[in-house]
Structure 1
Amino acid sequence: MDLRRYGLLAFTVVMLAVPFLPVPDYWITKLNYVGLFGLVALGLVLLTGVGGLTSFGQAAFAGLGAYASAFLAVKMGISPWIGLLAGLGVTVVVALVLGWVTLRMSGHYLPLATICWSLALFYTMGNLDALGKYDGLLGVPAISFFGISLQEERRMYLLIWLVAIASAIAITRLLDSRPGRIMRALDVHRGGGKTMPEAMGASTFRHKLLMFVIAAILASISGWLFAHMQRSVNPSPFGIKFGIEYLFMAVLGGAGHVWGAFTGAALVKLAEDQLQTWLPALLGTSGSYEIIVFGVVLVLVLKFAPDGLWPSIERLLPARRHRAIRADTTEPLPARDKPAAGSVLLEVKDARRTFGGLVAVNGVGFTLRAGEIFGLIGPNGAGKSTTFNLVSGVLPLTSGEVWLRGERVDGKGAREIARRGLSRTFQHVKLVPDMTVLENVALGTYLRTRSGTLAAMLRTDRAEEARALAEAERQLRRVGLGEHLHELAGNLALGPQRLVEIARALASDPALLLLDEPAAGLRHREKQALAEVLRQLKAEGLSLLLVEHDMDFVMNLTDRILVMEFGTPLLEGTPAEIQASEKVRAAYLGTEH
């Protein structure tokens, strides 16, 4: 057990010991609210901090959990524990419907949509006679646990903080897992996005929806605890004001950090109570002046500490100890059957792609056989990268066909094509900079592993996770980066970053590897090292299709080349035939008149 785990154990023991100590009831009450608010903010850490999906509507989900349990308990006399299950059921259904609609939006439309459905749910709660309208429901019973009533705040404290700490541990485990790596690769503001995870075979929409539902569940549990602690519910705590406040807590504490949720909740809740006392006395008049202070603080945090306050606290903690990996003794992941050497692996027939009135690719066709390196070259604007994206499924064809291993794959999308044995790198390196090199490469094992969210939270995925990390280590050593396993990917130079991308692609055990300008931006020695790696991969039986501008690199590496000009094929042949062609010289250098 490393020092961080000892620290977590010590924190848990201290927090759970608080109600048994001579601590004033005032502080017990405040800590109860910190735990409740921290739960909602924890969902926002996952949704906004990790996934980059801004939501102002989490308070409404807390209202669903609170009202569902309160209604069943007050109107029908049903146990709060049944009310918890009912609240979670309602919340999951509503979250799935809202997520299905709103998560397809991007930019400023997504947060605006969350505001809209938050207001809709708030006014629904406030206008239903069955829910008491704006007066709410009174006489909500306290929770009982094996006959022990949790009506006293000190007893309720134990349940709140047991749930809060368990939830934080579960989310921490989730982020350190197969689905968690995909979630961490989604935020475009942290170097992620849709294209790379889809190329690894993962459904980005499904992972976004999963994060949305988990965040809603955490808010719903918080609402359930709140209703039975307060012994009454009304719409006020579940409006847009609280939705904004929860987001403020997450940002202040550190939106990308699990324990930042509770840091932000503690700072906001404790500061709010003090400011509500001090500011009216200081200014000589009453009013919600604390909102002004919070607004100024938020601007300052976004300006000078955009990652929140938790990273500053984390620097004082012992460094994380990385798990030891024994790649030589770990059972390898399942491998796909490889095509026979010389067999037709990829066939592109009369590919055409238009963007409105612009014809980017027209009539391109070629055949790549197993065990060879095939190059696509041409001047800038020749359509090479577009052809590359048509083959890999990033772009759909306007017309034409793409066949992979005897199966037609055009129109299937990047994710489905990846499942059939194609993996790729990108023209502009797509790594997650705040993930380690090892974690970035482990993304490539997604299709070769099966563990899901619940297994990650319960830690039943450890055997498979060890195999995935061992595979990532094998591929990093294969490309010569075995000494950089635990370094942050964002700290590497461009050359090593491109090798990390190649290792990630190899971790998927591809039948065909696509390399989009792998030598771009590299120094001479880095190009030589990369060429040696690619020759070694070919010697091991891997087939490669590459787009490249560096003619020396291409001519000394490929078996056959297709030259493109203005989106059309100009000439296909061996490197020697291409170098001897007058048409190719004219395409690159122009002709004399």
Structure 2
Amino acid sequence: MRYGWFLLLLLPFLLAPFPFYLTLLNFFALSGLVALSLYVLTGLAGMTSFAQAAFMGMGAYATALLTVKAGLSPWFGLAAGLALSLLLALVLGGLTVRLKGHFLPLSTIAWQVALYILAGNLVGLTGGHTGLTDLPPLVLLGFPLDNAFRYGLLSLLVLVLAVLALHNLRFSRLGRALLALRGDALAAASFGVDPAALRLKAFLLAGAMAGLAGFLYAHFLRFVNPTPFSLEASIKYLVMAVAGGVGTIPGVLLGAALFTGLEDWLKDLLPLLLGRQGNYETIAYGLVLAGILLLAPQGLFPLLARFLPRKEGSLPRAEPLPLPAPSGARGEVVLEAQGLRKAFGGLLAVNGVFFALRRGEILALIGPNGAGKSTTFNLLTGAIPPDGGRVFLFGKEITGLPPHRIHPLGLGRTFQHPHLFPELSVLENAALGTYARTRAGFSRVLLGLHGEEEARALATAYRALKRVGLEGLALEPAARLTAGQQRLLEIARLLASGAEVLLLDEPAAGLRAGEKRELARLLKALAREGYTVLIVDHDMDLIMGLADRVVVMNYGEKIAEGTPEEVQRNPLVRAAYLGEAA
């Protein structure tokens, strides 16, 4: 079905008798390419950029300067434009992708405005606001693309290839990881995603796509000046993507088509209504966008998609990735905390905690609310750095390492509140766990060369779902799961990751009595296979019947350690839980 996008190439033939609409078709294709770059940035990675028109400008001016002033082939201009767009994206992204909240879009606005002013004032180089004229037409396979019909075939072909490449990206390890970053960067890092590096790569891809659109724009009009690459233009492209539905490829193209036609219509209509000339389209864009988002907060296409037949997925049939067999002697120390300490201002959350986790055992970490259990989990997994103490995994010190570097060493975790991604299916959520065990990068994914690895990753995720009893829901959206099923899905994702040391933060919360018994049987079976489990939970019946050893914390300190029977008799433990005198 996705190859049906090639039907767009029929449009130039249908519109051949109408030169004006052929021109609009070219503008739609170029706007669609920029809108797709925002699908990568905003729809997948959750970043907002007001600098896409600046990337377009880099691509346009690079080819204009090389062809007009240096007399080189436009294809050298394409290479230079992509290189400069990538360089700008590298600089801008390197400085801004770590920013959060409103700081990222504000910084892209600053870059956009600065580059626009620069292009308008370097008169000797760029021609200033007068611009550069007489760019040569593109020549492809001996045919000059010197009219809207021929150029439309090229621009639509580029658009369709971009759509197919981004479809490959969405249904890949990288697409899942980008969506996870958009929802929860800490959860993504916990299964091996480097948030800053992946966001930067997404920024580079989006910059290259916009730069390519700029190159095509320049040789279509055969004229370049700063106006099409202003902040207003960047806002227009963002409005297109958001209005259509920035989270879907058809959505951003619907928005591009709608606003490309709307722009020309408004330019004719508004002066008649207002009785004066002016750039009133931006105001109209804002009103149209507000109206669309009031009626359809996710954009137009998700609203329309409700009335379209739902495409049924299929279960994976490939051979799963091999699970790394737990190795080493049973009883050896695999995870050790030595004097961990963490303070938040004047609150000492963890103070001198030490314990060792041995291969094949289930160790429970318990204590009253506020005892420091979750903070200890975060210190062990690198979510927060300790103020003091050390952590060792399989004998290697991991103190202070970020989560994405700790996970591939064999440690995985769940969270106190399930960190799942409702826009992904149950199967895709589980497949997120395979990120660190798969290798396809952006080049392979965009070219569609990752199919075998992707099939094996999904098969691995399905095997993990069967292990926890969720295989019947594999193709359902994760948003439909009950609280208990969400807990089990987190464990399935952990099993798919191949981690040997499993840190489970309140896995029984929300589970019914029968589900808790199934969970206990699963964890005991994993321990017999050589997995090692550290569990935090408030269900004392579950803990006392499950754990081999128990570590008890209170007010950030370890107050007891031993078998379940020993800690239940410990007077310090009874005092912490029941208020009895020690």
- Partner of 2:304: helix, strand, or coil? helix
- Partner of 2:550: helix, strand, or coil? strand
Is the Cα contact below 8 Å between 2:320 and 2:460 reproduced in 1?
A: no
Q: Give how far 1:296 is off.
A: 1.7
Unaligned runs of 5+ in 2: none
- Give 2:385's aligned residue: 396
Is the Cα contact below 8 Å between 1:339 and 1:345 reproduced in 2?
A: no
Q: Give how far 1:334 is off.
A: 5.9
**2:466 aligned to 469, 477, 487, which one?**
477
- Give 1:80's aligned residue: 74
- Give 1:488's aligned residue: 477
- Give 1:447's aligned residue: 436
- Partner of 1:527: helix, strand, or coil? helix
Is the Cα contact below 8 Å between 2:59 and 2:215 reproduced in 1?
A: yes
Is the Cα contact below 8 Å between 1:333 and 1:468 reproduced in 2?
A: no
Alignment of 1:37-436 (within 5 A): 37-128=31-122, 129-187=124-182, 192-326=183-317, 330=319, 332-333=321-322, 335=324, 337-436=326-425
- Partner of 2:353: helix, strand, or coil? strand
Amino acid at match of 1:103: V
Is the Cα contact below 8 Å between 1:249 and 1:264 reproduced in 2?
A: yes
Q: Give how far 1:592 is off.
A: 5.8
Q: Which stretch shifts more, 369-378 or 254-263?
A: 254-263
State the distance in 1 between where 2:207 and 2:19 align.
Answer: 30
From the superposition, tell whether residues 495 and 542 of structure 1 become closer, same or farther in structure 2 (CA, over 3 Å). Answer: same
From the superposition, tell whether residues 124 and 284 of structure 1 become closer, same or farther in structure 2 (CA, over 3 Å). Answer: closer
Deviations 1:368-387 (A, max 9, x none): 11000000100111111111
Deviations 1:64-109 (A, max 9, x none): 0000001000001111111101100111111101100011111111
Give the fraction of aligned pairs with identical amino acids, expressed as a percent. Answer: 48
**1:18 aligned to 2, 12, 16, which one?**
12
Amino acid at match of 1:71: L
Deviations 1:5-34 (A, max 9, x none): 4xx42x423533533654411111111101
- Partner of 1:135: helix, strand, or coil? coil
State the distance in 2 between where 1:83 and 1:337 align.
Answer: 54
Q: Give how far 1:337 is off.
A: 4.9
- Partner of 2:546: helix, strand, or coil? coil
State the distance in 1 between where 2:9 and 2:252 align.
Answer: 16
Is the Cα contact below 8 Å between 1:334 and 1:448 reproduced in 2?
A: no
Count of residues in correspondence between the two structures? 581
Question: 4+ residue stretches of structure 1 with deviation over 6 A?
Answer: none
State the distance in 1 between where 2:334 and 2:573 align.
Answer: 27
- Partner of 1:185: helix, strand, or coil? helix
- Partner of 1:40: helix, strand, or coil? helix
Is the Cα contact below 8 Å between 2:320 and 2:457 reproduced in 1?
A: no
State the distance in 1 between where 2:228 and 2:11 align.
Answer: 29
- Partner of 2:439: helix, strand, or coil? coil
Is the Cα contact below 8 Å between 2:151 and 2:220 reproduced in 1?
A: yes
From the superposition, tell whether residues 316 and 18 of structure 1 become closer, same or farther in structure 2 (CA, over 3 Å). Answer: farther
Deviations 1:273-318 (A, max 9, x none): 2122223323444344433332122122233312111113333443
Deviations 1:239-280 (A, max 9, x none): 000010000000011010112121101111111221222233
Deviations 1:512-552 (A, max 9, x none): 00001111233323322322222222232211001111111
- Give 2:29's aligned residue: 35
Deviations 1:212-236 (A, max 9, x none): 1111111111110110010110000
Deviations 1:408-465 (A, max 9, x none): 1112221121111000101011011110111111111111111111111111111111
Is the Cα contact below 8 Å between 1:447 and 1:508 reproduced in 2?
A: yes
Report the TM-score when normalising by structure 1.
0.95
State the distance in 2 between where 1:255 and 1:336 align.
Answer: 42
Q: Structure 1 residue 556 and structure 2 residue 550: aligned?
A: no
State the distance in 1 between where 2:303 and 2:370 align.
Answer: 47
Report the TM-score when normalising by structure 2.
0.97
Amino acid at match of 1:237: P
Is the Cα contact below 8 Å between 2:178 and 2:199 reproduced in 1?
A: yes
Is the Cα contact below 8 Å between 1:43 and 1:218 reproduced in 2?
A: yes
Q: Give how far 1:503 is off.
A: 0.6
Q: Which stretch shifts more, 379-388 or 282-291?
A: 282-291
Q: Give how far 1:585 is off.
A: 1.2
Q: Give how far 1:356 is off.
A: 2.6
State the distance in 1 between where 2:453 and 2:260 align.
Answer: 41
